[in-house]
Structure 1
Amino acid sequence: MNIKNKGQCQQTALITGAASGIGYQLACIFAVNNYNLVLVDRMEQKLLEIADNFQKEFSIFVKTIVKDLSIPTSPEEIFTELQQEAIKIDVLVNNAGFGIYGLFNETNLTTELEMIQVNLVCLTNLTKLFLKDMVKQGNGKVLNVSSAAAFQPGPFMAVYFATKAYILSFSQALASELEGSGVTVTVLCPGPTESAFHEKTGAAGTKQVKGNKMMGAAEVAKIGYSALMEGKTVIIPGLKNKILAEIVRFTPRNLVTKIVKNMQEIK
């Protein structure tokens, strides 16, 4: 489903998980800054509403792609569709992701394998597909959305924390490889953020979330966008989250895991 107009000569940003939360807020910022958009999500009606609103308010080109990114063929299908329509991607935002709360021996394996596919495999695949052209052209930006969870193990959300650690490591390595190429990679590592994420994962009642003030998705997106434009590699929104990320580097791993386990328990 496409919405086309005169703005097609501008730069284009592709955003996964664009229908809500940080992804939606990032899409708003890119739209305000006159980027054309390719918005990817499973929620078709929501995507169409967003595209229609952006079209009316900002007069930009918007293409919506309805995909379930847990399906392994999705990244290649997205890339092929854009190639066929000669839509060049200047900024890739790998934002889509989800989590699940509970003891690993009790959680659903199918859901966790889908999480690995979305959070980790799809992100890697899309980056591989679009990065080659960016490097060839000597220009481009990639924003990978990780989490403050990336800096330590996460009992009760073991697979989710591990996928976010992968995104952090992967992004830092790519940023180093690409120095001097004209292409930058930025990884955004927000702490708990106001969104439907915690309810969906089942973690809304944990000590870390319940009753604590969280940063809004719009503020996180703004910080992430600024870091991306400045070519920073790692950005951790919020002073508390930055301090915690530094502290765990100098704290015994077993103690860090115990602390996180305590914070992850249901109140």
Structure 2
Amino acid sequence: MAAGVALITGASAGLGVDFARQLSAKGKRLVLVARRKDRLDALAAELGNARSIGEDLSLPGAIDRLMAELAAHGEHVELLINNAGFGLTGRFAELDGKRQRQMIDLNCGTLTELAYVVLPGMVERRSGAILNVASTAAFQPGPGMAVYFATKAFVLSFSEALHEEVKRHGVIVSALCPGPTATEFGEVAGFKPSGPSAKLFVDMAAVSASVVRAGLAGLEKRQAIVVPGMINKATAQAHRFFPRSWVRRIAGTIKL
């Protein structure tokens, strides 16, 4: 009989590491996936109930290779943490086009394909869960990070739709929408160390472990959307109280 595992993508840093630690503490058997195999190996050794797979999920055929690896070990996914992704800061026309397409492919395409390959088994077993990591960026447009905000809007909409489709089959799908969080995100996105956006992240950043804790608690409560923190909850609803033209102008005044 196949063993159920929690599959965590983007597990080599930030939220992914804390998902691994907290799920390990709950006794889950883990499979950790990311590009940086050395980091994964160190984390798996620390946890003891995890194994690592080095894979760049943005590459063609990566998910087929991943699923073949799971099958070879007699494993099926009972919990998917769709955490892999990144952002880029800058004006759309000035950023590298290929890198922006990679962001779309990873943040949206890979997340969608992984959900597609694991959901049928969950529905058949009438149990399982998917937690897709979105962002408070999902609730409004983001001039200066246009593609990133758009990818997270996709993740939120997709997750809500799946939540309704599969809940009657005993499967849970949730979108975790954190605000600024103390991870490597800002560095990868290209925030200037002394710029306003970097300062915003430092001043407002939540602790990664607390974000993960909120996400897992929301999943257990079968919530479709989890927004950790009162300030984030309020900003996520700004579009309900102000015209969208105001919201996007305010977002566009932040110099990146």
What TM-score do you get using the length of structure 1 for normalisation?
A: 0.91
Structure 1 gap ranges (5+): 1-7
Aligned ranges 1:242-253 → 2 under 5 Å: 242-253=233-244
In 2, are the aligned partners of 1:72 and 1:117 still within 8 Å (CA)? no
Deviation (angstroms), 1:124: 0.2
- Matched AA of 2:179: G
Q: Alignment identity in percent? A: 39
Q: Within 2, Cα distance between the matches of 1:190 and 1:98?
A: 14
Deviation (angstroms), 1:197: 0.8
Q: Within 2, Cα distance between the matches of 1:75 and 1:10?
A: 19
Q: Within 2, Cα distance between the matches of 1:52 and 1:146?
A: 29
Counterpart residue number, 1:5: none
In 2, are the aligned partners of 1:12 and 1:36 still within 8 Å (CA)? yes
- Matched AA of 2:152: K
1:89 pairs, out of 77, 93, 111, with 77
Q: Within 2, Cα distance between the matches of 1:23 and 1:95?
A: 6
In 1, are the aligned partners of 2:2 and 2:76 still within 8 Å (CA)? no
Are the structure 2 counterparts of residues 206 and 169 from structure 1 closer, same or farther at C-alpha, using a change threshold of 3 Å? farther
Deviation (angstroms), 1:136: 0.6
1:75 aligns with 2:63: yes
Counterpart residue number, 1:4: none
Q: Within 1, Cα distance between the matches of 2:178 and 2:88?
A: 17
Aligned ranges 1:205-216 → 2 under 5 Å: 205-210=194-199, 212-216=203-207
SS of aligned partner of 1:90: strand
Counterpart residue number, 2:20: 27
Moved more, 112-121 or 196-205: 196-205
Q: Within 2, Cα distance between the matches of 1:35 and 1:141?
A: 13
In 2, are the aligned partners of 1:72 and 1:122 still within 8 Å (CA)? no
Counterpart residue number, 1:44: 37
Counterpart residue number, 1:132: 120
Q: Within 2, Cα distance between the matches of 1:221 and 1:72?
A: 29
What TM-score do you get using the length of structure 2 for normalisation?
A: 0.95
- Matched AA of 2:208: A
2:173 pairs, out of 163, 173, 185, with 185
Q: Within 1, Cα distance between the matches of 2:144 and 2:206?
A: 22
2:224 pairs, out of 229, 233, 252, with 233
Divergent runs of 4+, >4 A: 8-11
Query: Which whole-Å deviations, capped at 9, do the CAs of 1:206-263 have from their partners, x for residues lacking one?
Result: 5354152310111101111111122111000110110111121232111110011113
- Matched AA of 1:182: G
Are the structure 2 counterparts of residues 10 and 78 from structure 1 closer, same or farther at C-alpha, using a change threshold of 3 Å? closer
Q: Within 2, Cα distance between the matches of 1:160 and 1:206?
A: 19
Deviation (angstroms), 1:147: 0.3
1:258 aligns with 2:249: yes
Are the structure 2 counterparts of residues 208 and 106 from structure 1 closer, same or farther at C-alpha, using a change threshold of 3 Å? closer
Q: Within 2, Cα distance between the matches of 1:206 and 1:157?
A: 15
Task: Supply the RMSD in Å over aligned alpha carbons.
Answer: 1.6
Counterpart residue number, 2:208: 217
In 2, are the aligned partners of 1:10 and 1:35 still within 8 Å (CA)? no
Moved more, 251-260 or 199-208: 199-208
Structure 2 gap ranges (5+): none
Structure with bigger helix share is 2
Query: Which whole-Å deviations, capped at 9, do the CAs of 1:70-112 have from their partners, x for residues lacking one?
Result: 2131112111221232101110000000011111111001111
In 2, are the aligned partners of 1:100 and 1:201 still within 8 Å (CA)? yes
- Matched AA of 2:153: A
- Matched AA of 2:196: K
In 2, are the aligned partners of 1:192 and 1:209 still within 8 Å (CA)? no
